[in-house]
Amino acid sequence: MQAFDDFTGSVSERSTVRMNFRTKPHIKRTIQRAAALSGVDDSVFTINAAYKAALETISTHERTVLRPVDHEAFFNALDNPPAPTERLREAFARHDRMIENR
């Protein structure tokens, strides 16, 4: 049996808000079975799984990992940017026409 990792246990806030959602009976039974096998109730199991997935999703969208060869190319492009192409100039002009500066 795999140990249960409580991801929400490190959050030092009281649980004061509710989340309600509907699901299919098969999904509920599967979650309940997995929770029982993990030794926790289905609410703890579900909120931990959702919280872990949320943290991973946020991390994926907030961080970019580059291989060494890509790292070198990225910083080289920042240090030595290429001259703007005609298409880039047109895109900026189109942006200026479409977007009102505030």
pLDDT at 39: 94
The pLDDT tens digits of the residues spanning 23-66 come to 999 999 999 999 999 999 999 999 999 999 999 999 999 998 89
Instruction: Note whether 42 and 48 are within 8 A (CB).
Output: no
Domain boundaries, the chain: 1-102
d(CA 94, CA 92): 5
Dihedral over Cα of 21, 23, 25, 26: its sign: negative
The pLDDT tens digits of the residues spanning 12-30 come to 999 999 999 999 999 999 9
pLDDT at 10: 87
Residues in Cβ contact with 32 at an 8 Å cutoff, skipping those fewer than 6 apart: 42
Higher pLDDT, 54 or 3: 54
pLDDT at 9: 84
Instruction: Note whether 32 and 42 are within 8 A (CB).
Output: yes
Q: Which segment of 6-15, 51-60, 73-82, 86-95 scores lowest on mean pLDDT?
A: 6-15
pLDDT at 46: 96
Amino acid code (one letter) for 41: D
pLDDT at 30: 97
What Cα–Cα distance (Å) separates residue 21 from each residue in 24, 31, 46, 58, 68? 10, 14, 11, 22, 44
